[in-house]
Amino acid sequence: MLACTYVERGRFELREKPKPRLLDPRDALVRVTLGSICTSDLHIKHGGVPRAVPGITVGHEMVGVVEATGPAVSSVRAGDRVTVNVETFCGECYFCRHGYVNNCTDPEGGWALGCRIDGGQAEYVRVPHADQGLCRIPDTVSDEQALFVGDILATGFWAARISDISDEDTVLILGAGPTGLCTLLCVLLKHPKRIIICERDPARRAFVRNRYPEVLVTGPAECRDFVLRHSDHGGADRVVEVAGGEDTFRLAWECARPNAIVTIVALYDRAQTLPLPEMYGKNLTFKTGGVDGCDCAEILRLIEAGRIDTTPLITHRFPLTRIEESYRLFEHREEGVIKVAVRCGE
Ligand SMILES: [Zn+2]
Ligand SMILES: [Zn+2]
């Protein structure tokens, strides 16, 4: 089968590989129908993920059809259409039992797929801990509607959940990239008083204005003043930092009101400074990233009910045979790309 492979730092290649098979009674084999490319894949490509193993098949955003299951798998069976969770987790360890599945202590727990073990930018993928890692897609939900459930939408959902948003809050979201937009969709479900999104790219700002007219939009340079003018208590009550830019961590806490919650979803390339003397007395609560992707069934129900729709994020479609071209487009943000959908089963 064809598999997009992390060859070495700076190089991914579509290679012919043997079809994966079940290795553990809890495994499932999934025929991938649709996959996508995530910014984390680019982090792997550029050597920014030391845990990533050269030779592995990359890709951790995908949906497909279960082809086979090990004898210990009970939640899905052959023929089921499923979302694949970016995090495989055992469901039994201390962290899993408390919902902190990102920190699952199992050797194949956490973000393993497409990083430490073969992922899904391929025709088939082996999914460990399939009872936790797969979710059946309702019949009325299409593959494209479900494509982001296991990764960026799970991240947005988790970020909105841990930010404890109330209907009195002004919520500032930094970044309107794919994950920022998924975060926005999930924050909208909490019906805060106001949502402000800050984005550097004018095309992405226009996208938000057109699609979500109830959301206030600003750019980084004027963000702080804008938030002051559009909040009730000298800053945002909740800040969700998804941008991960040069100065966005500072912007996040500067735009927060005293006693706000600042949720950090962004994956930074570099260490960030927490200037405690400057923020003394502001009494902020920081929550930091690494999605606990354990709400996928609930997210699928929300999609089925028409309350979340991420399909406008899919701006480009490619077959797997042209994945190298789709990487180029995604990496260089050509043609106004937000997300690509890669058809793997043809
Ligand atoms: Zn990802
Ligand atoms: Zn676990």
CB atoms within 10 A of CB 86: 28
16-59 pLDDT per residue, tens: 999 999 999 999 999 999 999 999 999 999 988 889 999 999 99
CB atoms within 10 A of CB 235: 22
pLDDT given at position 266: 92
What is the whole-number distance in angstroms between the Cα of residue 42 and the centre of ligand 1? 10
pLDDT given at position 38: 95
- Ligand closest to Cα of 131 equals 2
Given CATH 3.60.21.10, say whether it is the number of domain 2-151+292-343.
no
146-161 pLDDT per residue, tens: 999 999 999 999 999 9
What is the whole-number distance in angstroms between the Cα of residue 12 and the centre of ligand 2? 30
What is the whole-number distance in angstroms between the Cα of residue 294 and the centre of ligand 2? 11
CA–CA distance, 52 with 45 (Å, rounded to integer): 9
pLDDT given at position 290: 85
238-253 pLDDT per residue, tens: 999 999 999 999 999 9
- Ligand closest to Cα of 294 equals 2
CA–CA distance, 321 with 183 (Å, rounded to integer): 31
- SS3 at position 18: coil
What is the whole-number distance in angstroms between the Cα of residue 342 and the centre of ligand 2? 30
Give yes or no for residue 289 having a pLDDT over 90: no
What is the whole-number distance in angstroms between the Cα of residue 210 and the centre of ligand 1? 26
Give yes or no for residue 232 having a pLDDT over 90: yes
What is the whole-number distance in angstroms between the Cα of residue 63 and the centre of ligand 1? 14
pLDDT given at position 101: 93
Strand partners, 113: 117
The structure tokens 């430490």 sit at 116
Asked, colleague to colleague, whether 2-151+292-343 and 159-288 share their fold, the answer is no
- Ligand closest to Cα of 112 equals 1
What is the whole-number distance in angstroms between the Cα of residue 51 and the centre of ligand 1? 15
Phi and psi at residue 338, to the nearest 5°: -110, -60
- Ligand closest to Cα of 147 equals 1
SS percent in the chain: helix, strand, coil, step 5: 25, 25, 45
52-73 pLDDT per residue, tens: 999 999 999 999 999 999 999 9
Question: Percentage of residues in the chain with pLDDT exceeding 90?
Answer: 93
CA–CA distance, 239 with 261 (Å, rounded to integer): 6
Number of H helices, E strands in the chain: 11, 17
Supply the mean pLDDT for the chain.
96
What is the whole-number distance in angstroms between the Cα of residue 133 and the centre of ligand 2? 12
Q: How confident is the model at residue 268 (pLDDT cuts 50, 70, 90)?
A: confident
Q: How confident is the model at residue 109 (pLDDT cuts 50, 70, 90)?
A: confident
List the domain boundaries for the chain: 2-151+292-343, 159-288
Token pair listed for 169: 């809050």
Give yes or no for residue 346 having a pLDDT over 70: no
What is the whole-number distance in angstroms between the Cα of residue 111 and the centre of ligand 2? 12
- SS3 at position 143: helix
pLDDT given at position 345: 81
Among 3.40.1410.10, 3.40.309.10, 1.10.260.40, 3.40.50.720, name the CATH number for the domain at 159-288.
3.40.50.720
What is the whole-number distance in angstroms between the Cα of residue 307 and the centre of ligand 2? 30
